[in-house]
Amino acid sequence: MIAINKVSQHYGGTQILWDLDLDIKQGSCTCIMGRNGVGKTTLLKALMGLLPVTSGSIEFEGQAIQGRPADARAHMGIGYVPQGRHIFPLMTVEENLRTGLPCRKEKTKDIPDKIYELFPVLKDMKSRLGGDLSGGQQQQLAIGRALVIDPKVLILDEPNEGIQPNIVKQIGDVILKLNQEDGLTVILVEQKLGFARRVGEEFRLMEKGRVVASDKMANLNDDLIKQHLAV
């Protein structure tokens, strides 16, 4: 569904991604893992079109998208939940969710019921300002906003960073439901091993701007963890 071929990316004169290859299968849940600073967020931003790539290609459903802006990628069905959530603090929960509506293929004026079914707290708080929500509620709002576009693939960058355990559990339940029951393709950057093992079907390990190991999550063994994840 997604094929990233030999992608390189630079911040000014500093190269961060080095001829990176990554394949994502339709319907899979893939965890991108690696130590701090290996380029996980940079990779997701390049995939979403928030950072230009220097060379290489990114294909989504067989179409080259590396030159397309982020909003065009959202219209094509790529949903993105950025690290740090980036909800709009001075807009209400409902207004935050509405920002995703123009990108939906199936046009509607109302927030789809499904979003509120997945995250009942967003319904209860729909008139509250985004900035008044707790960190966990803001994360649920960021995921809900990405789902409003009715994506074909959902990309999440460390959705559990700084979130209390009961919300982490709820977010995991939602990801599992979306992936296993609805068949939504999920790409997740995740540092928490337990969470990655719970929701992930596949893993990709990164080192210095490259994917260095790819396999089924069941095969993520102690050697790989020691080599690429332990600090």
Ligand X SMILES: Nc1ncnc2c1ncn2[C@@H]1O[C@H](COP(=O)(O)OP(=O)(O)OP(=O)(O)O)[C@@H](O)[C@H]1O
Q: Which residues bind ligand X (CB under 6 A)?
A: 11, 16, 34, 36-42
Nearer to ligand X, 86 or 177 (CB): 86
96 vs 160 by CB, closer to ligand X: 160
Question: Which residues, other chains included, contact 74 with Cβ-Cβ below 8 Å and sequence gap of 6+?
Answer: 80, 103, 149, 151
Taking the complex as a whole, the smallest distance from the CB of residue 157 to ligand X amounts, in Å, to 8
Least CB distance to ligand X at residue 42 (A): 3
- Residue 20 CB, shortest distance to ligand X, in Å, is 11
Query: Helix 165-176 vs helix 135-148: angle between axes, to the nearest 10 degrees?
Result: 20
Q: By three-state DSSP, how is residue 138 classified?
A: helix
What minimum distance in Å lies between the beta carbon of 191 and ligand X? 6
Question: Looking at beta carbons only, is 13 or 62 nearer to ligand X?
Answer: 13
17 DSSP β-pair partners:
9
Looking at the Cβ atoms of 5 and 83, the one nearer to ligand X is 83
Q: State the burial class of residue 37 (Cβ atoms within 10 Å of its Cβ: 0-12, 13-18, 19+).
A: exposed
